[in-house]
Each structure stands twice: as structure tokens, then as C-alpha cells.
Amino acid sequence: MQLISGTQVAEKVLAECKSDIAQLASLGLKPGLAVVLIGDDPASRAYVRSKDKKCRDLGLHSVKHELPASTTQQELLALVGQLNLDPTIHGILVQSPPPKHINEAAIVQAIDPAKDVDGFHPINVAKLALEDPTGFVPCTPLGCQRLLLEAGIETSGAHAVVVGRSMIVGKPMALLLMAKGKGGDATVTVTHSRTRDLASITRTADILIAAIGRPDFIRAEHVKEGAVVIDVGINRVDDLIAEKGYRLVGDVAFNEVAPKCAAITPVPGGVGPMTIAMLMANTLKACKQLNASR
């Protein structure tokens, strides 16, 4: 069984970013990312902090907007409008999910698609479906694809089963895996909470992507012997003996699934670090593209 280390692959991606950043610096360019968080969800706060920190570590320009849960739609739209016009900002990310009174779709549509490093804007969703390389692909599925590539997993002709149909992971993951070319050319099945007899489908997967957001959901019975399993889940479960009072578990019951796998990603240290690394990579791409078009 091969343990696919997201920590190691993320380091490689970040090293590539570093050399790109040095090259951009020689042209007088400093890529900038603005991260917007509304409310005080602890998991979202932790993600936003680590995104901001990683930017600074790399020498990117990073601006963090932590807004109260009472922030109005109008105030948020005004901030996005301001960031769209800010020449020092190349990437804009509004942490999802926002509080209930915020219309997230309207916020996403207000972001300049050229700065939409999350790949959530309809223009970028369309570009992914169209296989247009100028678009932005959501960071988590992009990171999963990179993990498969770096681990030497052949996707061409493989049956990839995606569990979960979210706009952030499941749907773009399916589009990436079915796209033509390296890391694609797979036969893709998308399953979700309404799928009948899920295990009978996941058991046919050569590559299984678990993105349901339920702790330990994928069990040994869901997995074929020799499958490759990518665990996207980052679930906090109460743990009284853990220092923070919780621990992180994936969507895959690692201990019982891992022995059946040809390769599997751990949680933590799997997909998580890749999401942040791909965010950095997308921010550099935005900086380069914006500059070429100015």
C-alpha cells in the first residue's frame, strides 16, 4: 500500500510557486491574494488563517478581511467591488459557507472572473466544462488531480467514482477526471446521498474520491481490492483526550480501508495541504494572466 503524502506534494508545488514568485519579482510584480471571512465559524477561521500565513511565508501580498457575522450583502458586495479594482490584488477568495443571510451565488458572481482563484464564478465553471486552460479550477479537486499525477496513478481509461456532488469538490472533480489529457481521460461516475446501493458502485472504482463530508463514511465494503482512494474529508470529531478537544478524520475509515488499497491519502496530511498549495498556484496564474492582459 502506497501512502500518498499531500504534505510532500504540496511542498513540491510550493517550491514551484517560489521560483515563479522570484521570476515575477524580477519583473516588478508581487502576486496578491485577498481572503474574506464572514462570521466566526472555527473551522473557516482556521482555514483562512492558514491561507493567509502560507501567502506570507511565500512572500505574497496577503490581505485578510475578517468581517462580523452581521455584515450585510451590500457591505460584502462593496468590498468585493473594491477588491476587483485593486491593482495589488490578483486573487479574491470569499470563504464558504457564509452566514445564512448572505446570498453566496450573488457574491461569487460579483467577483471579477479573472481574480476568481476559487474557480466558483459561472465563467470559470463554464471554462472547466469547456476545457479552456485560461479558467480557474477549484483548488481542492485540482489538488486531488495533482496528487494522482505525482503518485503515478494512471487515470486514462480508469473508472473513477466520485462520492459527493458539491460545486466545490464533487462536480469539478468529475469534470477534471473526464477532461481530455494528462490526469483525465477517466470514465467517471458521480454518486451522492441519494444514490441507490452506493457500495455496489464504489466497489467498481479503480479510483475512489470521497468528498461527502461525513466522518468515516467509506468503509472496507465500499472499496475494491487494489483501488486508489483519495480522501477529501476534513471532519472535526469530538475527542476528549485530544489537546483541542477534537481530532480531524476523513470521509474514509482509514484503518479498515487502507489495507485493501493500492494507494490512499491520509487525513491530515493528504488533500488538505494540497488545497492551500493550489490556491497559491492559482493566485500566481491570476497575476500572470492579469498582467499579460494589461
| Residues binding ligand GUN (CB under 6 A) | 93-96, 118, 139-140, 168, 275
Amino acid at 74: Q
Pairing of β 235-238 and β 246-249 = antiparallel
Q: Considering the complex, state which of residue 93 and residue 261 has its C-beta at the smaller distance from ligand GUN.
A: 93
Q: Considering the complex, state which of residue 189 and residue 246 has its C-beta at the smaller distance from ligand GUN.
A: 246
CB of 221 to ligand GUN, least distance (A): 28
CB of 131 to ligand GUN, least distance (A): 21
Catalytic residue from among 112, 118, 206, 251? 118
Q: 130 Cβ partners below 8 Å, 6+ apart? A: none
Q: Considering the complex, state which of residue 96 and residue 289 has its C-beta at the smaller distance from ligand GUN.
A: 96
CA separation, residue 258 to residues 101, 113, 123, 197, 217 (Å): 41, 39, 38, 22, 14
Q: Can the peptide bond before residue 113 be classed as cis, meaning omega within 30 degrees of 0?
A: no
171 is catalytic: no
Catalytic residue from among 20, 52, 95, 231? 95
CB of 14 to ligand GUN, least distance (A): 17
Q: Considering the complex, state which of residue 140 and residue 145 has its C-beta at the smaller distance from ligand GUN.
A: 140
118 is catalytic: yes
CB of 127 to ligand GUN, least distance (A): 17
What 3-state DSSP class applies to 20? helix
216 is catalytic: no
| Cβ 209 vs Cβ 144: under 8 Å | yes
Look-up: residue for cell 521570476? 23
For residues 14 and 254, what is the distance between their CA atoms, to the nearest angstrom? 27
Active centre residues (catalytic): 51, 95, 118
